[in-house]
Structure 1
């Protein structure tokens, strides 16, 4: 009897030690190295690290550097589009900025959490949704706002504000929602967020300084950065497909979520701004401003999410599984943006008998086109010549 009790106690201690070791290993890189895999772990559902591939690690390093350059390019571009007078103007009537922040940092993360729960996603896929939902707005929203007759001043201001706020909200939201995946042993890469924040702050400050001191040069730089950003994104996509395609698994939940997530963000952004107008006339936004909040909500900075994933230090398998959703979201939001622009022009043609000749070109804070305040050359100059 004593021998049986002793044997059970030893087995229990061994199982406890194994569980502790497993948790420790998982929390560092999301998998168990092959040299530590043994029969005692055979009943545990774990991911085994593939053997180190020097070529794959070299490509991964190159991809990380390209992503860093891509984020820097994007942030310099955002900084070059900042016009302090326009930012101050919208802060005097901040309802659009406030509603945009609520949509960006409350509704979108909650949507990501809801989609993960609905489709019962595993930890890597859940974390990828939370990363995308917690990121600030993407620069593509400025382009889309232009073509749907949005308020370009508000679009530029919201993009800048969301990027600045993300310096605090991104770590906070990931900390809050990381409880969802903590049981799996897959840790949120908080250690890499410091580097990511640096990639945001420094280029953004440089772009803002250039806009303030050399406005005409900043406009030219913004045009160049827009082209370089597209080229870098294509290179990132090509490298990611080559490096991680063997680890990708496109499940029904991921596909449905990637298709509906941006659309839900756009719809809820417009719905919220329309709903608050019923509460108070002082909270009323013009339809141009509502469309702007809509696209700023649905279009996320998926490049930033990919950069965080790539610099996380996870195994290639875990990185590949987490990386796939930001790429799917980027494609989906591009498709929905095209649909949004086409729908806007179709409705404009149906109502007025013609498509808008200069979408988003003449706007005011109140949305009244009669005052003809031209702002496009200041806020979104990538489409216009310097005057």
Structure 2
């Protein structure tokens, strides 16, 4: 930093947006309907056999809660050596559970649906123990005030319910109307593809202002965490000689997480903290460079 530069910490508090509300409602409808269709593809007997000899779920657990946390911690330390909140954020990406996103990508990559749903369920249950374990061990070595964070247990339970209820409904529909399964198979992939495109596109559109706060590291390092974790999990799956469908599924389930669930609570408040510098006059910083960020955001001094 130059002698004439200034540093300001600014937090952004989102105002409620009608577009965001509409998107959330549509997202819930897509998630519930898509999960129900996915649930109709599940075979309870195969899931039972998978749990009786849980080689796949065990390898997946090792990938999700051993490989990923260690990779995320390493990237957090090396990638953000002087930025504690980013360190904590990168670490949380590696310890939070999977979600419906991994199930969607499993459909698109023709993975093992039964293993995917089993791993998602196990990860959401296990996260109630594994998140505190990692946060209060390695997490305490990060300089982000980890001792003050709270584990989002209620959020984890809600995420688990949001997965189990539609899947159970789909399984029950399959039993009541067996011929519906064939119809659901026809629309599953196109529906999933459209859902992924819609969710990604609208999410980016509604959060365009966030990209103004990012640099290359905010995209590169999370990608490194996900890719490295997936590669390690793939290596484990191959070492255990699992079928290719299960190898693909374990890689996807390991890489794709739901970090927003944890981050909103882990930092203690739903704000985004950014650091801004100007080399001459701090008033220029606040009055011009951030002018385009005032809507739809409200600025508060951190």
TM (normalized to structure 1)? 0.54
Shift in Å, 1:309: 6.4
After superposition, residues 305-316 of structure 1 pair within 5 angstroms as: 305=259, 315=270
Q: Check conservation: 1:108, 1:297, Cα contact below 8 A.
A: no
Q: Deviations over 1:232-273 (max 9, x none)?
A: 433333333233221233334333324333332332123223
Is residue 218 of structure 2 the alignment partner of residue 254 of structure 1? yes
Quote the Cα distance in structure 1 between the aligned partners of 2:201 and 2:223.
21
Shift in Å, 1:60: 2.9
Question: Cα distance 1:143–1:225, how it changes in 2: closer, same or farther (>3 A)?
Answer: closer
Question: Cα distance 1:242–1:255, how it changes in 2: closer, same or farther (>3 A)?
Answer: closer
In structure 2, the partner of 1:169 is 126
Is residue 57 of structure 2 the alignment partner of residue 97 of structure 1? yes
In structure 2, the partner of 1:112 is 72
Q: Deviations over 1:25-62 (max 9, x none)?
A: xxxxxxxxxxxxxxxxxxx9754345x64xx5323323
Is residue 247 of structure 2 the alignment partner of residue 291 of structure 1? yes
Question: Cα distance 1:46–1:219, how it changes in 2: closer, same or farther (>3 A)?
Answer: farther
Quote the Cα distance in structure 1 between the aligned partners of 2:36 and 2:262.
18
Q: Check conservation: 2:238, 2:247, Cα contact below 8 A.
A: no
Structure having the higher helix fraction is 1
In structure 2, the partner of 1:27 is none
Identify which range, 104-113 or 187-196, moves more after superposition.
187-196
Identify which range, 171-180 or 206-215, moves more after superposition.
171-180
Q: Check conservation: 2:63, 2:230, Cα contact below 8 A.
A: no
In structure 2, the partner of 1:366 is none
After superposition, residues 1-387 of structure 1 pair within 5 angstroms as: 47-50=10-13, 53=15, 56-120=16-80, 121-123=83-85, 126-127=88-89, 130-131=92-93, 133-136=95-98, 138-139=102-103, 140-144=105-109, 146=110, 155-179=112-136, 180=139, 181-183=144-146, 189-248=152-211, 249-275=213-239, 284-286=240-242, 288=244, 291-292=247-248, 294-300=250-256, 302=257, 304-305=258-259, 315=270, 317=272
Q: Check conservation: 1:96, 1:285, Cα contact below 8 A.
A: no
Structure having the higher strand fraction is 2
Q: Compute the RMSD of aligned alpha carbons.
A: 3.8
In structure 2, the partner of 1:337 is none
Q: Deviations over 1:195-236 (max 9, x none)?
A: 333211211211221233323313423543543343343333
Question: Cα distance 1:286–1:45, how it changes in 2: closer, same or farther (>3 A)?
Answer: same
Shift in Å, 1:142: 4.1
Shift in Å, 1:293: 5.4
Q: Check conservation: 1:269, 1:290, Cα contact below 8 A.
A: no
Gaps of 5+ in 1: 1-43, 147-151, 276-283, 320-387
